[in-house]
Amino acid sequence: MAHPDDLLGPGEHVVIDKHPHWRALLLPVVASVALALGGASLAGPVSALTWATTAWFVLAGVTAVLVAWLVVAPVLRWLTTHFVVTDRRVMCRIGVVRKARLNLPLELVHDVRFEQGALDRLLGCGTLVVESAADGPLEFDDIPAVAEVRAALGRVLDGGHLQEGRSTNGRA
């Protein structure tokens, strides 16, 4: 799901549009495997109960709540989270039901840096830190290819982001 172009101003171009790094989906994958294994291991004992029908409904209800909380919600959050840099602003959009948006004009950005731990370097992600005149530093976690994003944002801030109507990621 790409960033909707109708949220852009006239003549505004998307330079970077990223979801969080795929490692944000590790917990949902592990949870779905654990829930499947847990459900399969409980199937035999539940069937042996004298009140098996009620137990099946309880087991199904608990499993459905856990799947929604541990699998569906994080995947939807990942799908609907966008870190976007245009030629005019830095934006972050999060959420399906409860939405949060950040719009920071590039004129307010003073400095951009990134931080990576050992695991971040191994996985190719990191935290992008944007210092602005508006507030304290803004930290965007789990940005994939954070060094390249930082370099592209630096080019945008220096004014060298567009050449012949095309942005650095190929979107016009």
What ranges do the domains of the chain cover?
5-20+82-158, 26-77
Output the pLDDT for position 167.
Answer: 38
Residue type (1 letter), 78: W
SS3 (DSSP) at 8: coil
Residues 161, 155 contacting (CB under 8 angstroms): yes
What is 5-20+82-158's CATH topology? PH-domain like (2.30.29)
Read off φ and ψ for residue 47, nearest 5 degrees: -65, -30
Output the pLDDT for position 1.
Answer: 52
Predicted structure pTM score: 0.73
Output the pLDDT for position 164.
Answer: 34
Residue 74 has a CB neighbour count (10 Å cut-off) of 17
Output the pLDDT for position 171.
Answer: 36
Output the pLDDT for position 163.
Answer: 38
Tens digits of pLDDT across the chain (172 residues): 566 666 788 888 888 899 999 998 999 999 999 988 888 888 778 777 777 778 888 888 888 899 999 999 999 999 999 999 988 899 998 887 888 888 888 888 888 999 999 999 999 999 999 998 777 788 999 999 999 999 989 888 887 554 333 334 433 3
Give, as one character, the DSSP assignment of residue 114: E
Output the pLDDT for position 146.
Answer: 93
Residue 144's contacts (CB-CB under 8 Å, 6 or more residues apart) are 18, 19, 20, 21, 22, 124, 125
Output the pLDDT for position 43.
Answer: 75
